Structure 1
Amino acid sequence: MKTPFATLAFCALALPAVADVNDVLDQHILPYFHGFAVATDTLADQASETCDPALLKPAYTDAFNAWMAIGDLRIGPSESGALSIYFWPDKRGFTPRTLTRLIDEKDPVVQDATAYSEVSIAARGFFALEQMLYDPAFADYGADSYSCALTAAITADLAAQAKTLADAWAKEFVVTIRTAGQPGNTTYLSEDEALRAVYTQILSSLEFTSVQRLGQPLGTFDRPRPARAEARRSERSLKNVLLASESAYAMAGHLADWDIPHTDAAMSRLRDAATRIEDPAFQDITDPSARFRLEALQIAVQDLKTAIEGEIGGHLGIGAGFNSQDGD
């Protein structure tokens, strides 16, 4: 199945060896995966002491912020490992339905960490936890309730997933990328392939932000869909757009060893467009003026992607034939 995170279609042009994949790994990907694991561990520790939503929300915010720096990667262990951390968009409402079933049945799976790792991804990760902390239909529970135990189970599972993913990157997949083109590396047969794989993640993240994070709530002029805004309950829809864009921009800067003034300017315009958004959860877009501002932000995200394509893709010789939407 093709996704916005799929690997790129190779064009015939060879890439000059000027981009620094190791810098992307060392300065961005690896430290942020480590930070994500630390943040989720802190969240799980707090949840083991109290499941009070008001007390857990700051740690939840820190963990989600950490995730957004590397959450759009879909290569290596993140290709499948990210799915149960970040189950969104959920157009059919699987998450609330699955959580409701667990609560109604008082499923004992919450008492067994191994068993909980096998439950539906709709009841795992950030969006399941967001329901339990922010949705009035779920967040009104006592310390001795099943919902409290469920919240603790979700946080413990999230921390375990974060550690597994961080370890897989730091101990295994980083070696796969660094040894691209060497004998025995069947994932990347050349350094160019590894470079292209990292480059496409940058573009795919921006594409996902434009099409999903902004496109989902925008819907159409006649039928906007504010209820589909990412993380609207925790009012971080705008924050996620900014953090994902900043992450893509940072990785682009690490990848390039030359000046990228058009990309810098595009990022500056994106930040400026974000300051004009009044509702951080995008719930006001039924108002035409609010919709216009959100569309302007979407255009700014698309412009950042175009600037990176020109200043980095063009410099590297990735031109005609490249499509960040193509699948394997």
Structure 2
Amino acid sequence: MRLLPVIALSLGIACPAVAGVNEVLDDHILPSLSEFSVKTQALADAADRDCRPSALQPAFHDAFDAWIPVGDLRLGPSETGALSIAFWPDARGFTGRTLSRLIADADLVVESADAYAEVSIAARGLYALEMMLYDPEFSTYEADSYSCALTRAIASDMALQAAGLSEAWLGDFAETLRSAGEEGNATFLDEDEALRAIYTQILSSLEFTTDQRLARPLGTFDRPRPARAEARRSGRSLRNAVMASEAAHALASALAERDLPEANAALQRVHDTAERVSDAAFQDITDPQARLRVEALALAVEDLRRAIESEIGASLGIAPGFNAQDGD
């Protein structure tokens, strides 16, 4: 990450970094993680009552909705903790193969929470559960089947992960962000580093939406790849892209602690273009007109990223065109 000097800091002008960080933590990240924990526990409880797909699908969507506001964070405990909650993209089809192997072997790993926490991340989290609930190859099981026990194990494991992730943020990492620049904080050596870290996550999320959630299924004009759409089985592809854009905008607004008119207008364009997308799972993008509508949505998300760059990036001393995925 190549950063320009921060003039305000060099002149000794007070920087509102901690306040912006507090807004992000208290209004968005911490309550969203808590909500995700609540919703995944509700999902696990529902699975205990009735593990069949028709019974669990509403609670699954509630949990997925709760995940999206924090799902793209790869910071602190989420840097590794998010991977086993949201293993996607799965370019090599590990999730289906791993679930198939567990079912074929009737693996007793489903009987122990500690044991299930050690299975491949491909068989854990939201996308594994989506396959069990929506994929015809997996979702026809009965209440007394091994697949039912597997579904319960995935739901229970995810609830434990969600609670652990929320506790890790609330317990240590939130304070690490709040205390940026204080003596003994070796993670963030000054207040502005905490701001920059969150800003990077905002841009990374929007880049992930354009590069993966949208460009991945679009493929090329001659070879679209609708089967690569995120959460296509549950019809969440469009929903996830829009919600992730909303989350990035909310984080940016909290970080800036002021109105962002360019970003507000850009988010409205995301909503407007999303309303014109005809298939929420992007399965119709083999049709040129349907493809154009998804391409327009990708451009709108990119416009949102540029608006955020324009309105708050410069105040952080970060050059226009900064790529959050380039590394240090």
1:18 aligned partner, one-letter code: P
Identity score, percent: 62
Change (3 A) 1:221 1:166: same
Superposed CA deviations along residues 298-323 of structure 1, whole A, max 9, x for unmatched, are 00000000000001112333225843
Q: Note if 1:258 corresponds to 2:255.
A: no
Equivalent positions of 1:1-328 (< 5 A) are: 8-14=1-7, 17-19=15-17, 20-319=20-319, 322-328=322-328
Asked if the contact 2:313–2:320 (Cα under 8 Å) also holds between the matched residues in 1, the reply is no
**TM-score, normalised on structure 1?**
0.96
Shift of 1:15: 5.4
Structure 1 contact 15–318 (Cα < 8 Å) conserved: no
Contact 2:216 2:229 survives alignment (8 Å): yes
Gaps (5+ residues) in structure 2? Answer: 10-14
Q: Deviations over 1:157-202 (max 9, x none)?
A: 0000000000000111001001111111111111111110011111
Structure 1 residue 14: Cα displacement: 4.6
Aligned-residue Cα RMSD (Å) equals 1.2
Q: CA deviation at 1:10?
A: 3.4
Amino acid aligned to 1:72: D
Deviation at 1:259, TM superposition (A): 2.7
Alignment check: 8 A CA contact 1:238 1:281 kept: yes
Conserved? CA contact 1:11–1:322, under 8 Å: no
1:137 partner SS? coil
Q: Distance in 2 between matches of 1:266 and 1:217?
A: 23
In structure 2, do the counterparts of structure 1 residues 106 and 292 end up closer, same or farther at CA, with 3 Å as the change threshold?
same
Q: Which residue of 2 aligns with 1:5?
A: none
Q: Counterpart of 1:4?
A: none
Q: Distance in 2 between matches of 1:82 and 1:14?
A: 35
- TM-superposition CA deviations, 1:31-65 (whole Å, max 9, x none): 00000000000000110111111010000000000
Unaligned runs of 5+ in 1: 1-7
RCO greater where, 1 or 2, for CA within 8 Å and sep 6 or more? 1
SS of residue paired to 1:246 = helix
